[in-house]
Amino acid sequence: MKLLVVDDEAAICEMLKEYFEDSMSCRVLTATSPSSALLLLEKEQPEGMLLDLNFRSKLNGFDILKKAAAISPSTKVIMVTSVNDFESVEKAVQLGAVDYVTKPFTMDYLEDTVRTKIASLLVFAE
């Protein structure tokens, strides 16, 4: 499975990359900006994406989520963010996110979410 991690904090991208490469043998791509995320989405068409909400940019996670539906409609997106309010969760789901995980989280919980919301869907699609 190919997974794209999008967060403006490079340390978070690297931590998630190492974890998912080890725990699930994923091919993990990372992006620290909305523009690089959109380019990778178009080029790589990953099965899953872990997406933060806030960036040091005029685009945010909701903007990426909207564009992702057009660029790579089969990519399953899990929001991974510190924003914890009902309106954001509702908006993310309306825009197509398959789940919404708030920081802080345990790696086991995030892995279970990826396995349930992304990896398990790939088995059924084959």
The pLDDT value given to residue 122: 64
pLDDT per residue as tens digits for the range 57-73? 899 999 999 999 999 99
Residue count (the chain): 126
Supply 34's token pair: 């909305």
Supply 41's token pair: 């989405």
118 alpha carbon, distance to own chain's centre: 10
The pLDDT value given to residue 125: 46
Supply 116's token pair: 């349930």
Residues of the chain with pLDDT under 50: 124-126
Cα angle: 118, vertex 57, 90; to 5 degrees? 45
Domain parsing of the chain, residue ranges = 2-125
Q: E strand or H helix at 76, and its extent?
A: strand 76-81
Distance from C-alpha of 9 to C-alpha of 122, rounded to nearest angstrom: 28
The pLDDT value given to residue 96: 96
Alpha carbon distances (Å) from 28 to 4, 85, 98: 6, 28, 19
The pLDDT value given to residue 35: 95
CATH of domain 2-125: 3.40.50.2300
Q: E strand or H helix at 31, and its extent?
A: strand 27-31
